[in-house]
Structure 1
Amino acid sequence: MDALKDACRASGDYSITLIPYYAQVIADFDTADTVRQRRFESLQKLHGQLHLYKERGYDAELLCSLAARKAELIMKASTKAEIAQLDKPKPPHYDGVNFSPNPYLTPEEELICWCETSLLAPLDSTAVRRYMEVFRQVFPEKANWAFGEVLQ
């Protein structure tokens, strides 16, 4: 199944990236129906969110990566509370010095959050550093080109 997931992710289409996860939910008869239903609904919500991001012009590679990483988290979730956290993750916690990532928020989602936030108001230096850190996690091959020596 991993080879299929990798091939779907490489397609450049987040809808195709999600297909193996939908199939896994449907075919997993060892899991309770309520859990399967919650996972299926969560995948549908994710699909809708990805569509919104696509309409806003986000990179296809970013969306496929987000789809795969988030779908993996959904497939591991077994409780209603976990699914709820995945469907509406909270932003990273800021303690006044640093940001602590939320385990239910993928780096790709956090990157999109920083992009959206930066459109609303200028980011302070701590937020800019976190934005660049997350960018480097998501796009390591592009980080040096995008930021040059700033991250060094």
Structure 2
Amino acid sequence: MDKINQLFIETLKKAEQEGKNEYVFAAIWSLMKEIQEFSQMGFLKSLIYEIALKKINFLMNAKTKSEVKEILRPSTPVYNGNGFVPGGVFHIEEEELLLWSITSLRAPLNHEGFSRYQQLFQKYVRMNFTFNE
């Protein structure tokens, strides 16, 4: 969490220097709590860091309170009849991957859900590992 904590410290300093609104500060603190929960669940730090980095970038560029609310929402996909696709402009696939993982522990995924989970896993996790023989 050190790299992640440092990211939040730097972000809070930058937000203060830029005179961001109170709701942006509140959102950063809320995001920090969410990120800590992902860390406590044992998810890969590299995925957690990417989620934090992307959400922070969105928050720092948000123009309205409604954008901030949308950024803080979980990155849940939308079913379009053929499969699951990103659910909005602030969608973060790494966060969606963690949400699929959490969901799969609660109940079996249907075919489309499993396919999306597998697609994201291969894109963000499998490619990050190299095995030494």
Check the 8 A contact 1:39/1:74 in 2, yes or no: yes
Match of 1:43 in 2: 28
Task: Extract structure 1 runs of 4+ deviating beyond 3 A.
Answer: 142-145
**Structure 2 segments unaligned to the other structure (5+ residues):** none
| Aligned equivalents of 1:90, 1:134: Cα separation in 2 | 13
| 2:91 is the alignment partner of 1:105 | yes
Superposition deviation, residue 140 in structure 1: 6.0
| Aligned equivalents of 2:94, 2:31: Cα separation in 1 | 13
| Aligned equivalents of 1:92, 1:47: Cα separation in 2 | 22
Superposition deviation, residue 131 in structure 1: 0.9
**Structure 1 segments unaligned to the other structure (5+ residues):** 1-10, 30-34, 146-152
Give matches, 1:90-101, under 5 Å: 91-101=76-86
Secondary structure of residue in 2 paired with 1:57: coil
Superposition deviation, residue 12 in structure 1: 5.6
Match of 2:54 in 1: 69
Superposition deviation, residue 104 in structure 1: 2.2
C-alpha RMSD of matched pairs (Å): 2.2
Check the 8 A contact 1:12/1:60 in 2, yes or no: no
Percent identity over paired residues: 25
| Aligned equivalents of 1:38, 1:131: Cα separation in 2 | 33
| Aligned equivalents of 2:24, 2:92: Cα separation in 1 | 17
| 2:14 is the alignment partner of 1:28 | no
Superposition deviation, residue 92 in structure 1: 0.9
Question: What TM-score do you get using the length of structure 1 for normalisation?
Answer: 0.75
Q: Which amino acid aligns with 2:3?
A: D
